[in-house]
Structure 1
Amino acid sequence: MSTSTSTPQNPLKAIRRVVTTHDEQGQAKVWMDEEVDNKSPPGFSDGVSFGLAWVTDSSPADCQTTVDGKDLPIGELSSEKGSVVRYVDMPPKHVSPMHRTISLDYGFVIFGELELVLPDGSRTLCKQGDVVVQRGTDHQWVNASETEWARMVYVLLPAKPVVIDGKELPAKSIH
């Protein structure tokens, strides 16, 4: 978590979500077409923001629900029962806390570059177009750029806890 005192202005284009459904005759139609609301999580003052595009509360998902997925409850970052689709915008010099979710996460870099940092200190540079498959491991994200923002989209799916030597590895909060 960065301790910067001024919040930089996010220059990235607003995220648009288009959600489809069916009409009464079974024809496909657009149900929602709107911008995703980006919010800074509590405790972060450097401009990092999260945008929640969709959540499901079961697997397999109910594609006939009339509930807007962004309104479904989740845990801190993931859902124990269904999927989460989230965008994260990270300002220059942002360093996330080391954290772990009990989920299988697909993280796509869609703008900028980020370093994936593991507890052993190893760093892997992830560039636009790369995907990181996060399988319940401790990790943090670093935007090492002095000037460029970065954006990732994550698809988080429920997973069994990782068990090492008979002990479950717990989730670790970003706060």
Structure 2
Amino acid sequence: MDAETLPYALDLVAGSGVCLSPEKRAALRTSLLLVRRDYRFEQVRLWGRLQGIRGAYYIAEGLGPDRVGARSRLYSLNCVDWSLLPPPTEEMVAMTAALKGRFQGDPSYEYEPPEKKEDAERPYEEETGSMLKEEIRLVATVHQIDKAVGIVPRGAYVKSPLGPVHENRNFEGN
């Protein structure tokens, strides 16, 4: 959902039971517009919300002039303060593949790597693995969800002769 039309889009989604408090809605719209200005994005979209045990992660996506180019993702715990997520790597996805269960809602929470649990029978050996932060798991999860279900309708984007890809103005609805 684009930051410009966020209040209208949230009204449309509210019929399915997904809704935010008026305070969260106001904070979200205002803060996303500030994120667009501060990070110099051309467009900011609300990617979604991942619910944890102690809190929720609100994920936003910033787009530059090239719509198919790299996307910057940010997360917030309170819909006001936003932090950039590092770009996903295959190593991050591989490290978090064995983790199961719900998110805690705290980006500094550390998970014990699965191979470390297997080595628990050998208590006198030196620790070789490091703890895995929930922020890395968040990056990998958002990347996997986007990769699995992200689609673009044919004709929605047009490549300009100068190189960047833009939204097709003829594709817009009324």
Q: Same fold (TM over 0.5)?
A: no
Larger Rg computed on CA atoms: 2
Q: Which has the higher contact order (CA 8 A, sep 6+)?
A: 1
Q: Under TM normalisation by the shorter chain, which class is it? A: under 0.3
> Counting helix residues as a fraction of each chain, which structure ranks higher?
2
TM-score (structure 1 length as normaliser): 0.28
TM-score (structure 2 length as normaliser): 0.28
> Counting strand residues as a fraction of each chain, which structure ranks higher?
1
